[in-house]
Amino acid sequence: MKIGILGSGDVAKSLAAGFIKHGHQVMLGTRDAAKLKDFVDQHKGAQTGSFADAATFGEAVVLAVKGSVALEALKAAGTQNLTGKPVIDATNPIADAPPTNGVLKFFTDLNHSLMEQLQSAFPDAHFVKAFNSVGNARMVNPHYQAGKPTMFICGNDDTAKAVVAGICDQFGWETADMGKAEAARAIEPLCMLWCILGFTKNEWTHAFKLLHVA
């Protein structure tokens, strides 16, 4: 697939490297392509452009920007360039405030997720929450003795979720589909839970797994 990635940070680069490893074509969108020069030099096939270039390029789009500027980045990407496409939303609504005893602060509340805000601002794009509650170093083909970790996803469009489940499968995850966009209210705070071990114990390598009775 052709994947447009909105972002130049660690998540954008980790996922871009994963897509390239699995044979996809990638364009990363940024306001400043100079930030990605080393990455492009080290990853054959990686291209850069503006947010709009990357959204236009992608058959699927990855949103990997700071949560508080997600709407702004999507506006720069262009409504028409997102229409009908899966938008893999890896963002978290982390507030610009320090954690308390390792617990991050969000600028959303439990009954209003960031992804729902994005979905209602861009109704013709097909948002799928994914990759928000694992560290970027373990997003692509992580190895755990307990087996595959679980990627919790949600979104309103089943076709878009099937695309994302296929990507998760390639990237070595089992997918747990939690339903429609409202489920992002539960998936986004998994980031808070995940980060507590990081901030309090300096452990950043874990991932979540959902266990079922056979």
Ligand X SMILES: NC(=O)c1ccc[n+]([C@@H]2O[C@H](COP(=O)([O-])OP(=O)(O)OC[C@H]3O[C@@H](n4cnc5c(N)ncnc54)[C@H](OP(=O)(O)O)[C@@H]3O)[C@@H](O)[C@H]2O)c1
Min dist CB 141 to ligand X, Å, is 16
Is 38 a binding residue for ligand X by CB under 6 A? The answer is no
Is 91 a binding residue for ligand X by CB under 6 A? The answer is yes
Instruction: Decide if 171 contacts 18 (C-beta within 8 A).
Output: yes
Is 9 a binding residue for ligand X by CB under 6 A? The answer is yes
Is 97 a binding residue for ligand X by CB under 6 A? The answer is no
Instruction: Decide if 42 contacts 20 (C-beta within 8 A).
Output: no
Nearer Cβ to ligand X (85/92): 92
Instruction: Decide if 90 contacts 62 (C-beta within 8 A).
Output: yes
Among 2, 22, 66, 180, binds ligand X (CB under 6 A): 66
Among 37, 42, 45, 69, binds ligand X (CB under 6 A): 69
Instruction: Decide if 54 contacts 6 (C-beta within 8 A).
Output: yes
Among 3, 5, 12, 88, binds ligand X (CB under 6 A): 12
Phi-psi label, residue 184: left if phi above 0, alpha if psi -120 to 50, beta otherwise: alpha
With both helix axes pointing from N to C terminus, report the angle between 114-121 and 70-77 in degrees, rounded to the nearest 10: 30
Given the rule CB under 6 A, which residues bind ligand X?
7-12, 30-32, 35, 64-67, 69, 72-73, 90-92, 94, 132, 135-136
